[in-house]
Amino acid sequence: MSARPEGASALVTGASRGIGAAIAVALAEGGWPVAVNYRSDAAGAAATVAAIERAGGRAVAIQGDVADPAAAPALVDAVHEQLGPLGVLVNNAGVRADGLALTLSDEDWRSVIDTNLGGTHRLTKAALREMIRARYGRVVNIASVIGPRANAGQANYAASKAAVIAFTKTVAVEVARRGVTVNAVAPGLIETDMTESIPDTLAERVPAQRAGTPAEVAAAVAFLVSDAAGYITGTTLYVDGGLSA
């Protein structure tokens, strides 16, 4: 087992609100200096940073669109310069563009795939170089319960999240001997801005009979990046109230 390198930092993409913000706060509570990535919500990112700092943690906000191929190396470099070597990467940034498969435009398909899957691939690739050199790293990819199960109207989103799970497994096997773990967390129905348009009746399909909270997803991520989870890699942890059972 390799120990967390001194001064190592964490990067959470899409951390200006919702699940991403909760993850950033949880990692800061675990002693990680956290880079709060955002695409356009500068105010939200600043609020996440402020919440971390009020609790005695260290954080910076870093702008970047993960769908942009040039963003990944720039983000990793910025984290290194402002906080220290990257020890944890949480690929959380994601978008939706719902519609039936027969009516989905090429643009709606591309935007979801480029962000949810392409961004995950590019950031992981950029981060792994540093992690492998340090022989330590934790990568957590935020997937979705929609990946392995059908949800009409979300063919693009489901395809992207199913691919994230497959990507996670494969990369985990490739780097397991290097002291780097790669896992996924698959939330179900979680109370966030992205789920506001989902009918309330969906909660009735959840065995727990309620929606989850961003903090509950964040707790799963915090566990997977902890020393206690050093022998866990290539797996997907579902946080869905039994929806995938």
pLDDT in tens, 57-82: 999 999 999 999 999 999 999 999 99
Catalytic one of 38, 136, 157, 238: 157
pLDDT in tens, 214-239: 999 999 999 999 999 999 999 999 99
- The answer to whether residues 137 and 131 touch, using CB atoms and an 8 Å cutoff, is yes
- The answer to whether residues 25 and 55 touch, using CB atoms and an 8 Å cutoff, is yes
DSSP state of 190: B
Residue 3 pLDDT level (bands cut at 50, 70, 90): confident
Q: What length is written for the chain?
A: 245
CB-based contacts of 28-32 (< 8 A; 24+ apart in sequence): 28/52, 28/55, 28/57, 28/58, 28/59, 29/55, 29/57, 29/222, 30/222, 30/225, 30/226, 32/8, 32/87, 32/88, 32/225
Residue 34 has pLDDT above 90, yes or no: yes
Q: If you average pLDDT over residues 28-51, what whole number do you get?
A: 98
Q: What is the pLDDT at residue 203?
A: 74
State how many domains the chain has. Answer: 1
**Residue at 3 is within a domain:** no
Q: What is the pLDDT at residue 226?
A: 96
**Residue at 2 is within a domain:** no
Structure tokens at 11: 């990067």
Structure tokens at 120: 């995950």
Structure tokens at 140: 């957590």
Residue 197 has pLDDT above 60, yes or no: no
Q: If you average pLDDT over residues 191-206, what whole number do you get?
A: 71
**Residue at 126 is within a domain:** yes
Q: What is the pLDDT at residue 194?
A: 64
38 classed as catalytic: no
**Residue at 66 is within a domain:** yes
Q: If you average pLDDT over residues 91-112, what whole number do you get?
A: 95
Amino acid at 73: P
Q: Are strands 236-239 and 137-142 parallel, antiparallel or unpaired?
A: unpaired
pLDDT in tens, 142-176: 999 999 887 889 999 999 999 999 999 999 999 99
H or E stretch covering 182: strand 180-187
Q: Are strands 34-38 and 9-12 parallel, antiparallel or unpaired?
A: parallel
**Residue at 89 is within a domain:** yes
Residue 193 has pLDDT above 80, yes or no: no
Distance CA 79, CA 126 (A): 12
pLDDT in tens, 87-98: 999 999 999 999
In percent, how much of the chain has pLDDT > 70?
96
Residue 201 has pLDDT above 70, yes or no: no
Amino acid at 99: G
CATH number of residue 223's parent domain:
3.40.50.720
Q: What is the pLDDT at residue 150?
A: 78
Can you give the residue range of the structural domain that contains 222?
Answer: 9-239
What average pLDDT does the structure give for the chain? 94
Residue 51 has pLDDT above 90, yes or no: yes
Q: What is the pLDDT at residue 32?
A: 98
Cα distances (angstroms) measured from residue 241 to each of 14, 181, 203: 24, 25, 10
In percent, how much of the chain has pLDDT > 90?
87
Q: What is the pLDDT at residue 1?
A: 67
Distance CA 224, CA 8 (A): 16
DSSP state of 138: E
Distance CA 115, CA 70 (A): 13
Structure tokens at 67: 């769908």
Distance CA 158, CA 196 (A): 18
pLDDT in tens, 7-20: 999 999 999 999 99
